[in-house]
Amino acid sequence: MEDSNESGKKNVFSDLSQVEKSLAEDIGAERAQAMVDYFENVLKSSEEMLLQPLSETDRHLLNQLIQGFQAAQRIIRHVWEKLHATSFPA
């Protein structure tokens, strides 16, 4: 029986492979921009939540989420640029 950690790894790599395939087919960067925009929206929502009274644990978790959303945006842009050998459209 496969442990859940190994199964989780396979799922992550499968998902990343699908994202890479999608970005490779995305000549005009429309899908990539939609992904970046999605992460921007959830990032802003998370930042708004930081304005509320929160426990230090919740504040720490929200900051980690924000950093993760920012990293996802950078990764999407970087992968798209590498796949298409050009700068990500502004």
Q: What is the residue-averaged pLDDT of the chain?
A: 93
pTM of the model: 0.84
Q: Is residue 13 part of a domain?
A: yes
Per-residue pLDDT of the chain (90 residues; tens, 9 = 90+): 557 888 888 888 888 899 999 999 999 999 999 999 999 999 999 999 999 999 999 999 999 999 999 999 999 999 999 999 999 998
Tell me if 90 is assigned to some domain: no
pLDDT computed for residue 3 by the predictor = 77
Residues 6+ apart with CB under 8 A from 25: 31
Instruction: Indicate whether 74 belongs to any domain.
Output: yes
State residue 88's pLDDT score. Answer: 96
Domain total for the chain? 1
CA 18, chain centre distance (Å): 13
Domain assignment present for residue 67? The answer is: yes
Q: Could you tell me if residue 89 is inside a domain? A: no
Q: Which residue segment(s) compose the domain that 76 sits in?
A: 4-84
The three-state DSSP-derived secondary structure of 28-80 is CCHHHHHHHHHHHHHHHHHHHHCCCCCCHHHHHHHHHHHHHHHHHHHHHHHHH
79 is a domain residue: yes
